Each structure stands twice: as C-alpha cells, then as structure tokens.
Amino acid sequence: MNKQQHLIALDLDGTLLTDEKVISERTKRTVLKAIEEGHIVVIATGRPHRASIDFYHELGLDTPMVNFNGALIHHPTDHKWDALHSPLPIRTARKIIESCYELEVKNMLAEIMDDVYLDQYDQEVMEIFHTHDNHPVTIGDLQTHLKEDPTSLLIYPHEDQVKELRQELDDNHAELIEHRKWGAPWHVIEIVRAGMNKAVGLDKIARYYHIPKDRIIAFGDEDNDLEMIEFAGVGVAMQNSIDQLKSVAKHITHSNMDDGIGNFLEDYLKLNVKAI
C-alpha cells in the first residue's frame, strides 16, 4: 500500500514548525526521505508567500503552495502553473475595516499578495505579521490606502473583543467571508473570501498530480486546518491540536515539539531514515 506515491500536505505553525519556528532535524530528514522516495510534499498555510517561502526552499520543494488558507494557490518556481488568486471584494473589506475602527481594535493589516498595508506602525505587530525590510509596508489609514481587493485581512483585537468581533463578522458578512482565529498567544482574526480554505488548494494540487484522496496525507493543528484534515484520506492532527481538529482527524500524532510529522511519516510510509 505505502509504496504508492502520496501527496503530503504540511501546515506550518504548530505543525511542521516547532514553537521556536524552525523545522526539527528529525522531521526534516524524514520529509526529505519521503521526497527522495517519490512522494509529493506541499506546504498549506495561512501564512502569506513571503512568510513561508524560506521553509519551502529549506525543504528543497518544487511543488505548488497553498497560502492565505487557500486564497492563493500558486507555484513559487513555475509561474506558468495555473495559479488561483481569490481576494476579498474591496467593498466587503472596507465594511469590516469600518466596524473594526468603531470597535477600536489594536491594529489591522491588509495584504494584496505580498503587498502589505498596516493601519498603525507597531514593531511587535510587524513581527507577528511576518513583515520585514524585503517587503515594504504601507502604513496609515486602511480606508485611504487600500484601493484593490485584498487577499486577506488580519485583525488584531484586544483579547476581550475577539468574541464580539467574530459575532459581528458572522452576523453581517457570513455569506462573503471565512474568518479564523490564530492560536495563542496572538488573538488575531484572519479573514479571506468565502469558500476559500486549505482543502480547496489541496484538491487542486491533488488533481494536478493525479493523486486520489486515499493517498493524501495532511497534517494540521488549528481550526484553519479543519477542511483539509477532513478532505484528506489520511488526515492527521498533531497532539497539540485543538480538540475539534482531533475529533475529525483519522490519526493523531506526536506534538510539533516531539517530531509528530517525522514520527508519523516514518511509520506510515515505512521510511528508513538514517539518524545523524
């Protein structure tokens, strides 16, 4: 069974990455061994391209990538690949931004692909949102500076505003958007166009490689992984996952701090990974 080619989808934060935001040596060796044996590895993340491409290159990938929870499905090294970019309508974005001004959230950030628009300058927030000198940031009132449909909105509310904000999004924009909350310690709300999720990207990539669902292995830990874990024939939740994800996953592996991906792939794919 496991000699057949599999498609392996890796979430980043809390899954492939340790809490220190690095790939452990054991997991890296295992993923590279899986690639060497002919399996296809892809990254599927809520992060933008700019905040995930370094890990893509670290693993030596040459495959499509899912960013912004499915709002951008593209191939970083093959620009002829049939990319799919599904941004939010700017009218919807502006209504949400106005509501956030009224609520007086801490900060907001809009992204159009890798162009970044930050409402208020804050060095900590820029680090949270993975902005750096290689990608200039436009700082100032989003209602003024945002002129195109954004790929995503990131809202950084005060912790006691999270429930109210998500209820507001459900009450007024449910048909037009998807919204997810980042895990602790950041209570960030991520918003993309309705119908966009990681499973959409994974389905497109699986069709491209002609991989059936029963040979799709997907790893995740948060609520933005739910659709992907349910979609995959082999949906795997990390031990550090939220309970909701564990309840829909077909397997549970060790945590992101205990080489969960490495452990599962070695066993499931019968990989002979040499220790250093």
Tokens 């966009």 -> residue: 196
Helices 260-268 and 25-36, packing angle to 10 deg: 30
Q: Structure pTM?
A: 0.92
Q: Record the tokens describing residue 128, joined without a space.
A: 């949270």
Q: Which residue has the higher pLDDT, 129 or 200?
A: 200
- pLDDT computed for residue 52 by the predictor: 94
Dihedral sign (CA 141, 143, 145, 150): positive
For the chain, what percent of residues have pLDDT higher than 90? 82
**29: number of Cβ within 10 Å:** 19
Q: Is 44 helix (H, G, I), strand (E, B) or coil?
A: strand
- pLDDT computed for residue 73 by the predictor: 97
Catalytic site includes residue 258:
no
- Whether the predicted pLDDT of 157 surpasses 50: yes
Q: Is 68 helix (H, G, I), strand (E, B) or coil?
A: helix
Asked whether this chain's domains 7-85+196-268 and 90-193 adopt the same fold, the reply is no
Which one is catalytic: 11, 13, 119, 225? Answer: 11
Report the CATH superfamily, name and number, of domain 7-85+196-268: HAD superfamily/HAD-like (3.40.50.1000)
CA-wise closest residue to 102 among 148, 155, 139: 155
pLDDT of 12-53, one tens digit each? 999 999 999 999 999 999 999 999 999 999 999 999 998 999
pLDDT of 194-210, one tens digit each? 999 999 999 999 999 99
Assigned CATH for 90-193: 3.30.1240.10
Q: Please report, for the chain, the start and end positions of each structural domain, with discontinuous segments joined by +.
A: 7-85+196-268, 90-193
Strand partners, 112: 115
